[in-house]
């Protein structure tokens, strides 16, 4: 099975890159399952229902989020209507929406997707490790799920690496999100779990984390807000990772970065390109 994860979508330029490129990528590489982190899709803060529908129509099977999930107040209502929109599973009990789901891939495989938020330098949510453990006990790899993908939305690389090793051999992939900068540590861990500290963002990199540079610079230089943050509108780089899954074990055979368009160096997964 082939899985694609696309990192945090930031504003209109990030959405446009996905809408333009994802359908062709799915067809060209015969991708079975796509997860997109959409928590910054609406002007850089949260996600709206029309934007969610755009991402799903473009080819996302599941849209994950993070600490900005409820920045758009309407999300508190519509998230209950969409099983394919997840928020961090370790939010307090009673929070609208859900943080995990079992979804059917194009290949027919059942994929468990977990959306989890870290606690280091972030809001003090419930323990992400215990939350993940509960889900793995309830829906184990090759017991009820053919593959398990974890979007770990966290600030600290150490916490992300700890999660990777915590579930190594029990999940297909742990993909870090939130910091918006793609890391170079994509690897298959010793027991077979694919890992990367951050998949990067789908947004304009002539920016500060996807935002127009002027306002963040103003705040760093003066500590005085002069206006609102606004997404940069230049050409976006589509950032993510491709994962090749062993159908027998549900573990990863390979992981590689995907970067298309915009300012960053371009790369596509060699283990797919050779067969496309």
pLDDT digits (tens, 9 = 90+) for 5-29: 999 999 999 999 999 999 999 999 9
Which pLDDT does position 275 carry in this prediction? 57
Tokens of 69: 């999930």
Mean pLDDT of 138-151: 97
Residue 276 has pLDDT above 80, yes or no: no
Mean pLDDT of 63-89: 97
Residue 234 has pLDDT above 60, yes or no: yes
> Do residues 153 and 193 make contact, with C-beta atoms less than 8 angstroms apart?
no
Residue 274 has pLDDT above 90, yes or no: no
Tokens of 89: 């599973």
Mean pLDDT of 99-110: 97
Sort strands 110-117 and 100-104 into parallel, antiparallel or unpaired. antiparallel
> Do residues 65 and 55 make contact, with C-beta atoms less than 8 angstroms apart?
no
Which pLDDT does position 165 carry in this prediction? 98
**Distance of alpha carbon 157 from alpha carbon 176, whole angstroms:** 9
Which pLDDT does position 272 carry in this prediction? 87
Tokens of 56: 């799903």
> Do residues 159 and 14 make contact, with C-beta atoms less than 8 angstroms apart?
no
Which pLDDT does position 189 carry in this prediction? 98
**Distance of alpha carbon 140 from alpha carbon 154, whole angstroms:** 23
Give the domains, in start order, of the chain with CATH numbers: 2-273 (3.60.21.10)
Q: Which CA distances in Å does 23 have to 28, 34, 57, 195, 196?
A: 9, 11, 9, 25, 24
Which of 68, 153, 178, 180 does the annotation list as catalytic? 68
Mark whether 68 is an active-site residue: yes
The pLDDT mean for the chain works out to: 96
């Amino acid at each position: 099975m082939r899985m694609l994860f696309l990192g945090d979508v930031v504003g209109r330029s990030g959405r446009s890159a996905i809408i333009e490129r994802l359908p062709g990528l799915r067809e060209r590489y015969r991708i079975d399952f796509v997860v997109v982190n959409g928590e910054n899709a609406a002007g850089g803060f949260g996600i709206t229902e029309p934007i969610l529908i755009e991402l799903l129509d473009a080819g996302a099977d599941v849209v994950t989020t993070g600490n900005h999930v409820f920045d758009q107040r309407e999300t508190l209502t519509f998230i209950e209507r969409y099983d394919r929109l997840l928020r961090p599973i370790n939010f307090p009990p009673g929070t609208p929406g859900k943080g995990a789901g079992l979804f059917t891939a194009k290949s027919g495989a059942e994929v468990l997707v977990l959306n989890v938020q870290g606690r280091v330098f972030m809001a003090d949510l419930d323990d992400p490790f215990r939350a993940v453990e509960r889900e793995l006990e309830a829906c184990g790899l090759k017991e009820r799920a053919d593959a398990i993908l974890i979007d770990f939305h966290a600030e600290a690389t150490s916490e992300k690496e700890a999660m990777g090793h915590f579930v190594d051999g029990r999940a297909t992939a742990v993909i870090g999100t939130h910091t918006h900068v793609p890391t170079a540590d994509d690897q298959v861990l010793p027991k077979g779990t694919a890992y990367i500290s951050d998949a990067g963002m789908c947004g304009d990199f002539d920016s500060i984390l996807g935002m127009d540079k002027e306002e963040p610079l103003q705040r760093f230089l003066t500590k005085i807000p002069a206006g609102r943050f606004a997404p940069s509108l230049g050409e976006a780089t589509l950032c993510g990772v491709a994962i090749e899954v062993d159908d027998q074990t549900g573990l990863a055979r390979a992981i590689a970065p995907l970067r298309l368009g915009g300012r960053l160096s371009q790369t596509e997964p060699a283990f797919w390109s050779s067969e496309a």
